[in-house]
Chains A and B, each alone.
Chain A
Amino acid sequence: MTNIITTRDFKSNAKEALANKTLQKALTHVEAGFIGKRRLAMEALPEFDQLRDNARDIKNHTLANLDAYLEEYEEKVVASGGKVHWAADGEEACNQILDICRNVGARTVTKGKSMIAEEIGINDFLEKNDIEPVETDLGEYIIQLRGETPSHIIAPAVHVLKEQVEEDFRRVHDHLPVSRNLEEPESLLDEARKVLRAKFLNADVGITGANFLIAETGTSVIVTNEGNGDLTQIVPKVHIVLASIEKVTPTLDDVSQILRVLARSATGQEISVYTTFSTGPKRQGDVDGPEEYHVIILDNGRSNMIGSEFQDMLRCIRCGSCMNHCPVYHAVGGHAYGWVYPGPMGAVLTPSLMGVKDGGQLPNASTFCGRCEAVCPMRIPLPKMMRHWREREFEKHLNPASQRWGLNFWAFFAKRPRLYHLATSLGIPLLSLFGRRKGYFKYLPLASGWTKYRDLPAPETRTFQQQWAQREALKQGGAK
């Protein structure tokens, strides 16, 4: 897998994505698949909005006391026989994982789905160090075969058509007879399951992400639909949980409440097929479980968000609902965003983690339609935070000079009503005159961004203010 960051090239990435017919076909599944299912799940639960409020309040309370809950979590992990490793950045996290793997002489590592693993680029890192990482989530497995990164945070291979998966399987699983039917998703799943079963049994270390870390018990929680997470964390000798600091949640009860909005927002399920709780390594008398239990807790810039206007973003539970409902995501898919986190949540989180200089394109690429905020189970004000990023960018003079110049020119007049009306009362009638014959412009200098794809309606006639002034003057005259 290659993890080249192309956030700065968002525009050209988007252009390529729009021209990619296969991708465009695959992207229709996002709208068709997720939106209706979420709506049904929500309608079946009248207290859904109340649950969203509770979920938001739980996370707000946690973030306000994050240090205390993280310490409590570590204490409980240690008490149950596990170990917590604090990683300031991705490099530190990778090295901690490598050390753990080397300690047990690991050759292969199975992996449950984890966005943090993508964030720190652990697969590349392990491969460079002669350890084979094996993705066990079907979507992740597919994109690993393809040498790609996830294009969606809960449906990593949503950009791939099933015909492409068949091709990939035939290319890599060279034991397959040509006659073997791989046309249906079920047969593809069977094939992946067969190949992965052996990998599960031979793995030395299993790495999973975490949807939650429970402070009161030292438990890590994952939600999956395939059961691959369970096999990843139970079968190998060592289980490594990879999580970021904001995953900590005070109590089991709090987690249960947030779980009620998570799957409904993500896939429209009431609850995911597997919700798995792990606390520490195997105890004496346990029939299974890992001998070692490690938790890597990653910061990677998140603690800087605490107390800033981006703190609310740390409430995110990675359900993917914002991108499922985003017209920009629907148009270009996840890879165009150029790094790990796409869609509206990515547009806010990416500049927080890599800086606005590299990530600044993403919060600009939004119409501010507000659908993401409307569906977010944690009520994260995503458009507002994207606007804050635009403010940071503007303050640092990072946006293009032509844009700044245009804005300054416009603002100069907008702040001076008399001059504005004078200028528009001269310009608009002239523009109206030129556009009169057709009623629109096919091309207009300085407006090519508009006229490239659509016609520009011509101004009707004189400005409203001109006409109104005349009407009032006539009225005054008539009254005399």
Chain B
Amino acid sequence: MAPKVALFITCLVDLFRPKIGFAAIKLLEDAGCEISVPVAQTCCGQPAYNSGDRADTEAIAKQVIKTFEDHDYVVAPSGSCAAMIKIHYPELFKDDADWQRRAVALSKKTFELTSFLTDVLEVEQIDTHLEQKVTYHDSCAGLRELGIAGQPRKLLASVDGLVMEEMKDSDVCCGFGGTFCVKYSDISNAIVSKKADTINTSGADLLLAGDLGCLMNMAGKLKRQGSKTKVRHVAEVLAGMSDGPAIAEAKK
């Protein structure tokens, strides 16, 4: 039987780049999953959680748990949002046995997209083609909370024609940090400027990552600098959807 996967679309993908959602669906359907997208989802609650607003975080988390707990799996095209559900929800309810049980149950079946494809569905390779030099940025939450590093690289290595040019310090933060990038815009700018330098010196034409927040931050900086490097979510490349405008590019 096909695994029933609910897509946690993430607020940024929903609003800014639906293409990533459709790319994720294509990858999951190609791997034999049956996809649904629950309509009662908005956000995982991180903006409230990281601002110290526990009450709103818990209300949003309960809403997510109720909406998603009846599916076999929950998959998000974001390490940050997946980690919020997988790591932080159970901790959020550590003083509420009933909700904690439900949070832990949801945690167990929640995955970031590339790790779900490789670790759970055991996808070994992707049948697609892209003749381009790419570099990959490890977004912090995915890397350090979920251990995502090898999975996207393994899938990218199977893309016909693709050449990986690792940037220096790919595991160092891009300076996004959610609301941090506007609350501390001067510091965020210093961090993303350094990141843009390492991207530019990598020799790649295309920057990839698994989190749209980081991608928008880096794409926005590269654009402001006049860099020619294009920016896309890793799912777009894997799904063979690298045509059309990249992030922050005009429609042709």
Contact = CB atoms under 8 A, between A and B. Distances in A.
A105 interface: no
Contacts, number: 204
Given A369-B144, A387-B52, A327 B15 contact: no
Interface string A450-477: 1011111111111111011100000000
Most chain A CB within 10 A, of B52, B59, B188, is at B52
Interface stretch (A55-63, A91-99, A143-151, A359-367): A359-367
Contacts of A420: 42
A391 B187 CA distance: 22
Nearest to A450: B182
A394 B140 contact: no
Nearest to B9: A464
Contacts of B54: 391, 394
Contact of B144 (A374, A411, A452): A374
A111 to B, nearest CB: 33
Contact of B140 (A367, A407, A428): A367
Given A365-B187, A415-B60, A428-B15, A421 B39 contact: yes
Contacts of B13: 464
A367 B173 contact: yes
B220 A457 contact: yes
A86 interface: no
A79 B21 CA distance: 71
Contacts of B249: 439-440
Interface string A124-160: 0000000000000000000000000000000000000
Nearest to A392: B52
Nearest to A363: B52
Contact of A407 (B47, B171, B175, B181): B47
A368 interface: yes
Nearest to A15: B186
Contacts of B14: 424, 463-465
**Interface class of chain B by DSSP:** helix
Contacts of B51: 390, 394, 399, 403, 407
A454 B192 CA distance: 9
B239 interface: no
Contacts of B49: 387
Interface string B18-56: 110110000000000000010111110101111111101
Main DSSP-derived SS at the A contact region = helix
B228 interface: no
A16 to B, nearest CB: 10
Contacts of A436: 250-251
B12 to A, nearest CB: 10
Interface in B209-252: 216-217, 219-221, 223-224, 245, 247-251
Contacts of B181: 367, 449-450
A18 B54 CA distance: 33
A468 B186 CA distance: 38
6 contacts: A332-B187, A367-B178, A368-B50, A437-B250, A439-B248, A449-B182
Given A390-B52, A417-B63, A457-B16, 6 more contacts: A14-B184, A369-B144, A394-B51, A453-B185, A454-B221, A457-B223
Interface of A: 11, 14-15, 18, 327-328, 330-332, 364-371, 373-374, 387, 389-395, 399, 403, 407, 410-411, 413-415, 417, 420-421, 424, 428, 436-440, 447, 449-450, 452-465, 467-469
Q: Which 5 A-B pairs have the closest CB atoms?
A: A367-B177, A449-B182, A390-B52, A454-B220, A394-B52
Interface of B: 9, 11, 13-19, 21-22, 37, 39-43, 45, 47-54, 56, 59-60, 63, 140-141, 144-145, 171-173, 175-178, 180-192, 194, 216-217, 219-221, 223-224, 245, 247-251
